[in-house]
């Protein structure tokens, strides 16, 4: 009997040892398998290959570029003489428009004329500051708006002569309304003309944006002012 008991105990030990060895082998194989597995690439491993549509300058078509090329944008181009002329003259041009617009506060009789004048001040006063800041940033001379309000406008498209400005300042009521609309339509047309010139000849992105705003905004105001003028 003792030999039988020892034999039975030996069999049980062998069975337990076999189970332990099997478990260890299985664990080791699992570790090897997981260690040799190649991880799936994450989202950051992929490179975007979708083309990007980059808008062109006003009047120019858009272009298709690769994602890496979008850093080189039109604003990298330097400004030129056409940009400088437009900005300098537009400071004076806007200043003259403000002078005429402020006369409408006390002299206009038609509420539509006063409304036009208010829009001129609201749009062009901030643009004057932006134009002057452009000149300062490029170390260019800023026109003296007060001193140059008369003679410096000679030859500038849409400029109102000092004599016409004096006549406008003396007028009031319906006569003022008619003269104001006539002068402001011509004045706006000059600004649109200069905007068209710099759109073709200029290279500075900010100047191009201002020129586009002048062309669209003042072009629309010309049409509305002509409609009002026809009713007076």
For residues 18-23, average pLDDT = 41
Q: What is the pLDDT of residues 181-207, one digit of tens each?
A: 999 999 999 999 999 999 999 999 999
For the chain, give the mean pLDDT.
Answer: 77
When pLDDT is averaged across residues 207-232 and rounded to a whole number, the result is 96
| pLDDT above 90 (res 69) | no
| DSSP collapsed to 3 states, the chain | CHHHHHHHHHHHHHHHHHHHHHHHHHHHHHHHHHHHCCCCCCHHHCCCCCCEEECCCCCCCCEEECHHHCCCCHHHCCCCHHHHHHHHHHHHHHHHHHHHHHHHHHHCCCHHHHHHHHHHHHHHHHHHHHHHHHHHHCCCCCCCCCCCCCHHHCCCCCCCCHHHHHHHHHCCHHHHHHHHHHHHHHHHHHHHHHHHHHHHHCCCHHHHHHHHHHHHHHHHHHHHHHHHHCCC
Burial class (CB in 10 A: 0-12, 13-18, 19+), 180: buried
Cα Dmax for the chain: 139
pLDDT of amino acid 92: 94
Q: What is the pTM of this model?
A: 0.66
Q: Residue ranges of the domains in the chain?
A: 80-149+156-229
Label residue 83 by pLDDT band (50, 70, 90): very high
SS3 of 107-172? HCCCHHHHHHHHHHHHHHHHHHHHHHHHHHHCCCCCCCCCCCCCHHHCCCCCCCCHHHHHHHHHCC
- Give the model's pLDDT for residue 3: 44
Summarised one tens digit per residue, pLDDT across range 95-127 is 999 999 999 999 999 999 999 999 999 999 999
Q: Report pLDDT for 56.
A: 53
Q: Which architecture, in CATH terms, is 80-149+156-229?
A: Up-down Bundle (1.20)
Whether 199 contacts 208, CB under 8 Å: yes
């Amino acid at each position: 009997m003792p030999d039988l008991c020892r034999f039975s105990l030996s069999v049980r030990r062998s069975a337990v040892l076999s189970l332990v060895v099997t478990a260890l082998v299985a664990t080791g194989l699992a570790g090897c398998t997981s260690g040799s597995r190649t991880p799936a690439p994450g989202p950051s491993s992929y490179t975007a290959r979708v083309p990007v549509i980059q808008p062109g300058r006003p009047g120019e078509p858009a272009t298709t570029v690769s994602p890496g090329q979008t850093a080189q944008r039109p604003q990298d181009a330097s400004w030129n003489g056409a940009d400088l002329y437009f900005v300098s003259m537009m400071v004076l041009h806007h200043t003259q428009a403000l002078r005429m617009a402020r006369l409408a506060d006390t002299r206009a009789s038609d509420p539509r004329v006063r409304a036009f004048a208010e829009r001129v001040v609201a749009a062009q006063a901030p643009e004057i500051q932006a134009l002057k800041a452009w000149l300062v940033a490029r170390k260019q001379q800023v026109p003296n708006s007060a001193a140059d309000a008369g003679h410096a406008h000679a030859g500038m498209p849409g400029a109102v002569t000092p004599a016409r400005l004096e006549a406008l300042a003396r007028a009031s009521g319906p006569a003022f309304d008619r003269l104001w609309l006539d002068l402001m339509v011509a004045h706006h047309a000059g600004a649109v003309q200069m905007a068209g010139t710099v759109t073709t000849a200029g290279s500075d992105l900010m100047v191009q944006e201002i020129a586009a705003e002048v062309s669209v905004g003042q072009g629309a105001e010309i049409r509305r002012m002509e409609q009002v003028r026809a009713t007076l």
